[in-house]
């Protein structure tokens, strides 16, 4: 790709600026349906400077990009004059979008991410790529709408974004369920066969009578300390250790998944057919995005790295406590075959025809809550020096941004030049003493009329997020995501206190109502912050992963949540001891905490302190590469309400349009 080409492309895209918008803002689906998406080929080739070898089309408006693209593109030379963080020489500025502690209605992080790149690329002459998560399909049919942004800052076609996309979640679901089937089938076969019979079946003889290990079996042999390559050389004892995983059926942690809000699958009993000979077992389903494989996809850096991670996933302990892995079951290669295409990020476009990478959508509590490392890396290479990648971190900054730093950046080696923290008058009022905000119920009057004092009172929440983010050495730009009912005085107090708290800038944004044009000031502020922090020299992690498990948890609890201390349940203590003994003590931690408070108690709004954080349990995600301390219980599969969103969804069979998605 030449600079001329990129530059020419960028000017082409000036033509796609949304200069005309409708007021009041129509519904998301109305805006999305009225927009004419460009063929993705044009985005890929003219906009991103890719060639046919770099991408594969999936329909007209989606393309998958080679996961190797960041290394094949290398660091590009752009027109901007700034170098950037040192992870890959010559790539673009790296910006993370986080938020204040949200209300259940969400404060517009995705929308701001999209609005910001629209502003940069379509209005301020800067190359910019947004990196966002793939939404789960389940909630699309339940209560919550999609996750493609909103108003005049959206990813289109929104129905493709919110439904199958390019099949990654489906691939994860099948891979997850193949492993689950393998676990139960293995337990069954081991319980009904002698060691000798297992050996004969697992190691069938070829026509000449010989037996051969399949490649993956050498991983198990190595784990058992057996370095023989000829099966016939194994002693009887070695054979028996090899064939018998001896998984404890009572303690299997690997669950099945479905990409649907199916509450009746939360807890189930399986194996009740007579063919399973009474070997029933209690287990359950999670929603697919809660699968560890989704977390693996988000954290992986290459095909080979993914193979290691998938192989390391633990399905539960053997009866002697040894963790049993995907490699032990011999199924890693099949999971890789299933995930071969899912590792490739999906290229889509915004309403202003700027490029968006959609990739991975891990849960933000039990998993990392950030989109993929691979997509960010590709984005940074694509935009080149002086360009921008804007990536979104789920939930509030205490969760999403903390995990962005301590999990994602730790693994990728990338450093952010700047963080955008999205704030709304609504959420600040909620933190300033406003009544509870509930999805589906009308907002209280105090949220829709001016109340400067309430906003001022709630600023403690935003201030702490600013301070926390700065504690990682990341400069902060506050994006005030404007609502029609906000007032100037309310906005002024946000700006004033944000600056006093150390934000580089605090900028009013109207991208929901006006598209990229409404985020031009934000784009300029982000650009200035990035240019002032080209080398990310102050960036630091929240803790060293070599600390012991408890110290890591305490560090996050005290430094980020402002807890006085941490209380570990007996179960958590046991698990910490076990994981330390098993050699997992060096893994970083992925806190599973409510997003509605800095504390574990979602009713504690504002900036609570002086509380003790309770850790009820700790789980292991050995493949994703982290430990998950549980601060409370988290439902891992939602349900359908009495009137689900699907009542409104339909296909216009004459005009071939999907209707009713929101």
β 153-156/346-350 pair status: antiparallel
Q: Between 15 and 215, whose beta carbon lies closer to a copy of itself?
A: 215
Q: How far apart are CA 112 and CA 107, in angstroms?
A: 9
Q: How far apart are CA 6 and CA 79, in angstroms?
A: 9
Question: Is residue 223 involved in binding a copy of itself (CB under 8 A)?
Answer: no
Question: Is residue 273 involved in binding a copy of itself (CB under 8 A)?
Answer: yes
- Region from 539-547, 550-558, 585-593, 644-652 binding a copy of itself, contact rule CB under 8 A: 644-652
Q: Which of 268, 528, 547, 578 binds a copy of itself (CB under 8 A)?
A: 268
Q: Between 64 and 133, whose beta carbon lies closer to a copy of itself?
A: 64
Q: DSSP H helical segments within 486-591, as ranges?
A: 488-500, 511-514, 520-531, 549-556, 570-581
Tokens found for residue 219: 């991983």
Tokens 């730790």, residue located:
410
Question: Is residue 250 involved in binding a copy of itself (CB under 8 A)?
Answer: no
Q: Which of 217, 452, 499, 528 binds a copy of itself (CB under 8 A)?
A: 217
Residues 122-151 that bind a copy of itself (CB under 8 A): 137, 141
- Region from 127-135, 474-482, 535-543, 646-654 binding a copy of itself, contact rule CB under 8 A: 646-654
Question: Is residue 651 involved in binding a copy of itself (CB under 8 A)?
Answer: yes
- Closest contact distance (angstroms) between CB of 46 and a copy of itself is 17
Helix (H) / strand (E) containing 627:
strand 626-630
Q: Between 500 and 651, whose beta carbon lies closer to a copy of itself?
A: 651
Chain Cα centroid distance, residue 596 = 18
Q: Helix/strand/coil (H, E, C) string of 352-399?
A: CCCEEEECCCCCCCCCCCECCHHHHHHHHHHHCCCCEEEEEECCCHHH
Question: Is residue 259 involved in binding a copy of itself (CB under 8 A)?
Answer: yes
Residues 170-199 that bind a copy of itself (CB under 8 A): 170-171, 173-174, 177-178, 180-182, 184-185, 188-189, 193, 198
Q: Which of 77, 79, 86, 276 binds a copy of itself (CB under 8 A)?
A: 276
Helix (H) / strand (E) containing 298:
helix 292-299
Residues 287-306 that bind a copy of itself (CB under 8 A): 302-304
- Establish how many alpha carbons lie within 13 A of residue 486's alpha carbon, considering only the half-sphere containing its beta carbon: 23
Q: Between 203 and 474, whose beta carbon lies closer to a copy of itself?
A: 203
Nearest Cα residue to 335 out of 286, 285, 291, 287: 291
Question: Is residue 548 involved in binding a copy of itself (CB under 8 A)?
Answer: no
Give the x/- contact pattern for a copy of itself in 429-448, rule: CB under 8 A: -------------x------
Helices 452-471 and 488-500, axial angle in degrees (round to 10): 30
Distances (CA, A) of 636 to 235, 319, 404, 588: 45, 27, 21, 22
Distances (CA, A) of 655 to 33, 155, 220, 311: 12, 22, 56, 47
- Region from 78-86, 100-108, 274-282, 445-453 binding a copy of itself, contact rule CB under 8 A: 274-282
- Closest contact distance (angstroms) between CB of 240 and a copy of itself is 15
Distances (CA, A) of 116 to 91, 357, 415: 19, 14, 19
- Closest contact distance (angstroms) between CB of 146 and a copy of itself is 12
Q: Between 19 and 633, whose beta carbon lies closer to a copy of itself?
A: 633
β 505-509/476-481 pair status: parallel
Question: Is residue 313 involved in binding a copy of itself (CB under 8 A)?
Answer: no
* Radius of gyration of the CA atoms of the chain, in A: 25
- Closest contact distance (angstroms) between CB of 604 and a copy of itself is 25
Question: Is residue 271 involved in binding a copy of itself (CB under 8 A)?
Answer: yes
- Dihedrals φ, ψ of 651, to 5°? -115, 125
Distances (CA, A) of 480 to 421, 491, 509: 8, 7, 6
Q: Between 200 and 558, whose beta carbon lies closer to a copy of itself?
A: 200
- Region from 162-170, 395-403, 499-507, 597-605 binding a copy of itself, contact rule CB under 8 A: 162-170
Nearest Cα residue to 646 out of 156, 305, 194, 137: 137
Question: Is residue 462 involved in binding a copy of itself (CB under 8 A)?
Answer: no
184 contacts 271 by C-beta, under 8 angstroms: yes
17 contacts 123 by C-beta, under 8 angstroms: yes
Q: Which of 4, 81, 570, 643 binds a copy of itself (CB under 8 A)?
A: 643
Size of the site for a copy of itself (CB under 8 A): 92
Q: Which of 2, 27, 60, 564 binds a copy of itself (CB under 8 A)?
A: 60
Q: Which of 28, 54, 159, 328 binds a copy of itself (CB under 8 A)?
A: 159
Question: Is residue 1 involved in binding a copy of itself (CB under 8 A)?
Answer: no
Tokens found for residue 241: 């250790």
- Region from 234-242, 258-266, 386-394, 489-497 binding a copy of itself, contact rule CB under 8 A: 258-266
Q: Between 304 and 489, whose beta carbon lies closer to a copy of itself?
A: 304
- Closest contact distance (angstroms) between CB of 265 and a copy of itself is 6
- Region from 408-416, 544-552, 587-595, 642-650 binding a copy of itself, contact rule CB under 8 A: 642-650
- Closest contact distance (angstroms) between CB of 395 and a copy of itself is 23
Q: Between 603 and 650, whose beta carbon lies closer to a copy of itself?
A: 650
- Closest contact distance (angstroms) between CB of 200 and a copy of itself is 9
Question: Is residue 3 involved in binding a copy of itself (CB under 8 A)?
Answer: no
- Closest contact distance (angstroms) between CB of 213 and a copy of itself is 9
Q: Between 121 and 346, whose beta carbon lies closer to a copy of itself?
A: 346
Neighbours of 506 (CB within 10 A): 26
- Region from 468-476, 521-529, 604-612, 645-653 binding a copy of itself, contact rule CB under 8 A: 645-653
- Closest contact distance (angstroms) between CB of 336 and a copy of itself is 4
Residues 333-392 that bind a copy of itself (CB under 8 A): 333-334, 336-338, 340-341
Distances (CA, A) of 31 to 40, 149, 392: 19, 11, 23
Q: Which residues does 496 contact at the CB level (< 8 Å), separation at least 6?
A: none
- Closest contact distance (angstroms) between CB of 269 and a copy of itself is 4
Question: Is residue 208 involved in binding a copy of itself (CB under 8 A)?
Answer: no
129 contacts 91 by C-beta, under 8 angstroms: no
- Closest contact distance (angstroms) between CB of 25 and a copy of itself is 17
Nearest Cα residue to 371 out of 113, 603, 548, 128: 113
Nearest Cα residue to 296 out of 324, 267, 326: 326
323 contacts 317 by C-beta, under 8 angstroms: yes
Q: Which of 119, 260, 459, 613 binds a copy of itself (CB under 8 A)?
A: 260
What single DSSP character describes residue 47?
I
172 contacts 291 by C-beta, under 8 angstroms: yes
Sign of torsion, CA 555 561 566 568? negative
């Amino acid at each position: 790709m030449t600079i001329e080409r990129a530059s020419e492309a960028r000017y082409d895209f000036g033509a796609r600026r949304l200069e005309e918008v409708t007021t009041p803002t129509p519904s998301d689906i109305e805006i999305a349906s009225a927009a004419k998406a460009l063929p993705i080929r044009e985005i890929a080739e003219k906009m991103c400077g890719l060639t046919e070898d770099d991408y594969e089309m999936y329909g007209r408006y989606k393309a998958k990009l080679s996961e190797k693209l960041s290394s094949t593109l290398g660091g590009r030379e752009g027109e901007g004059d700034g170098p950037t963080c040192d992870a890959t020489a010559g790539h673009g500025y790296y910006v993370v979008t986080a938020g204040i502690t949200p209300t259940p209605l969400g404060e517009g992080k995705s929308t701001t991410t999209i609005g910001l790149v629209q502003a940069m690329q379509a209005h301020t002459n800067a190359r910019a790529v947004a990196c966002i998560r793939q939404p789960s399909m389940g909630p699309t049919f339940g209560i919550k709408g999609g996750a493609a942004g909103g108003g005049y800052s959206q990813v289109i076609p929104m129905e493709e974004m919110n439904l199958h996309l390019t099949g990654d979640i489906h691939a994860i679901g099948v891979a997850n369920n193949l492993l689950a089937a393998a676990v139960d089938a293995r337990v069954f076969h081991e319980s009904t066969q002698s060691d000798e019979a297992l050996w004969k079946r697992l190691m069938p003889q070829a026509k000449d009578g010989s037996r051969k290990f399949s490649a993956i079996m050498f991983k198990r042999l190595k784990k058992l300390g057996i370095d023989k390559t000829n099966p016939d050389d194994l002693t009887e004892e070695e054979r028996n250790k090899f064939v018998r995983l001896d998984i404890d059926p009572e303690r299997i942690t690997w669950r099945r998944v479905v990409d649907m809000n199916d509450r009746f699958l939360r807890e189930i009993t399986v194996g009740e057919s007579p063919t399973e000979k009474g070997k029933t077992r209690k287990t359950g389903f999670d929603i697919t995005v809660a699968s560890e494989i989704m977390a693996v996809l988000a954290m992986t850096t290459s095909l080979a790295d993914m193979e290691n991670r998938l192989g390391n996933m633990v399905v539960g302990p053997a009866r002697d406590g040894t963790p049993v892995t995907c490699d032990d079951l011999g199924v890693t290669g099949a999971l890789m075959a299933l995930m071969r295409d899912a590792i490739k990020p999906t290229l889509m476009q915004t309403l202003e025809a700027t490029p968006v990478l959609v990739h991975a959508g891990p849960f933000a509590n039990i998993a990392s809550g950030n989109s993929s490392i691979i997509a960010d890396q590709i984005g940074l290479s694509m935009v080149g020096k002086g360009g921008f990648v804007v990536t979104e971190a789920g939930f509030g900054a205490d969760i999403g941004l903390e995990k962005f730093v301590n999990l994602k950046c730790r693994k990728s080696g990338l450093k952010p030049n700047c963080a955008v923290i999205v704030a709304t008058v609504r959420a600040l009022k909620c933190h300033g003493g406003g009544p509870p905000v509930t999805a589906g119920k009308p907002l209280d009057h105090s949220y829709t009329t001016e109340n400067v004092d309430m906003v001022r009172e709630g600023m403690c929440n935003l201030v702490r997020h600013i301070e926390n983010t700065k504690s990682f050495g990341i400069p902060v730009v506050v994006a005030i995501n404007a609502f029609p009912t906000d007032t100037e005085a309310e906005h002024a107090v946000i700006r004033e206190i944000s600056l006093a708290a150390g934000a580089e800038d605090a900028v009013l944004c109207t991208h929901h109502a006006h598209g990229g044009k409404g985020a031009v000031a934000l784009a300029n502020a982000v650009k200035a912050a990035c240019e002032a922090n080209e080398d990310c020299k102050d960036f630091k992690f929240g803790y060293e992963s070599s600390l012991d498990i408890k110290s890591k948890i305490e560090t996050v609890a005290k430094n980020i949540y402002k807890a006085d201390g941490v209380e570990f349940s007996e179960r958590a203590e046991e698990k910490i001891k076990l994981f330390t003994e098993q050699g997992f003590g060096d893994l970083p931690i992925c806190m599973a905490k409510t997003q509605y408070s800095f504390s574990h108690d979602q009713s504690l709004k504002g900036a609570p302190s002086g509380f003790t954080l309770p850790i009820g349990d700790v789980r292991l995600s050995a493949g994703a590469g982290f430990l998950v301390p549980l601060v409370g219980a988290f439902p891992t599969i939602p349900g359908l309400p009495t009137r689900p969103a699907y009542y409104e969804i339909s296909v216009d069979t004459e005009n071939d349009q999907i209707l009713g998605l929101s």
